[in-house]
Amino acid sequence: MKSGERELSPEKTATILNGAMQEFLEHGYAGARIDKIVAAAGVSKATVYRHFPDKETLFTALIQRMANKKELFRLQNIPSLEEDPATFLKRYALGMLDNVESDPQILTFLRIIIGESARFPELARAFVRNIEKPSLDLLTQYLIKHPQIEVADPEVAARAFIGTIIHFVILRNVLQSGDIVPMDRDRLLNSLLKLVLGKSQSEELLSSPN
């Protein structure tokens, strides 16, 4: 008698969020339709509004959840830190690129984060905090701990490395303009490694592409 209190089932919440994901990622916040979310999730409209007070709360909950899922970006899929620098960096970069190629949802998520960053700055900041910053930190720490890499400013080197790759992904995959500014993936990575590591240390890698 005291507490027959059941709560809104977390499974339903997840079902709703999964349905909302398709619709929000495809159409953005303003373009998404609650009725479509309802249909995609296979729940009733009333249930959606029992779990979330309004569209905006549903949207932010979804994006926050995605920005916290490091698995989505395979941040755990990191090459061994004991690897030699050229191999480590190349595998790291290839991991990012393969990740993007294999899962188009990542591109759509990037579009949302950037596209809605003026209206939902906290979502953008959560993304940077959970995804971008850890990547930059890891790379910076790696460069610092391998002093045989003669890099004067590891933090900037990490930014240059990641920034170059992300810019490449934005041009090629997000903006779908790989044919307008063509660039071979392996050429970019090999030349980038030379820039970051200095010419000498990466030459041995040139014929063994992983």
129 binds, among DNA, its own copies, none (CB under 5 to 8 A by kind): its own copies
User: How distant, in Å, are the alpha carbons of 47, 107, 115, 198 from that of 111?
Assistant: 29, 6, 6, 34
Is 187 a binding residue for DNA by CB under 7 A? The answer is: no
Does position 25 interact with DNA (CB under 7 A)? The reply is no
Single out the residue of 162, 142, 150 nearest to residue 93, CA to CA: 162
Name which of DNA, its own copies, none residue 110 binds, using a CB cut-off of 5 to 8 Å depending on partner kind. Answer: its own copies
Q: How far is the CB of 55 from DNA (least distance, A)?
A: 3
Please say which residue, 35 or 153, places its beta carbon nearer to DNA. 35
194 binds its own copies (CB under 8 A): yes
For residue 10, give both structure tokens: 């977390």
Identity of the amino acid at 10:
P
In Å, how far are 26, 95, 110, 174, 183 from 104, measured between CA atoms?
Answer: 11, 15, 10, 10, 20
Assess 27 for contact with its own copies (CB under 8 A).
yes
- Residue 206 binding target from its own copies, DNA, none, CB below 5 to 8 Å by type: none
**CA-based torsion, 151, 155, 158, 162: positive or negative:** negative
Residues 189/90, Cβ–Cβ less than 8 Å: yes
135 contacts 149 by C-beta, under 8 angstroms: no
- Yes or no: say if 201 and 85 are a contact pair by the CB < 8 Å rule: yes
In the range 128-147, which residues lie near its own copies by CB under 8 A?
128-129, 132-133, 136
- Candidates 33-41, 78-86, 111-119, 177-185: pick the segment binding DNA (CB under 7 A): 33-41
- Interface residues with its own copies (CB under 8 A) are 26-31, 107-108, 110-118, 121, 124-125, 127-129, 132-133, 136, 152-153, 155-157, 159-160, 162-168, 170-171, 174-177, 180-181, 183, 187-188, 191-192, 194-196, 199
- Interface residues with DNA (CB under 7 A) are 1-9, 12, 32-35, 42-47, 49-51, 54-56
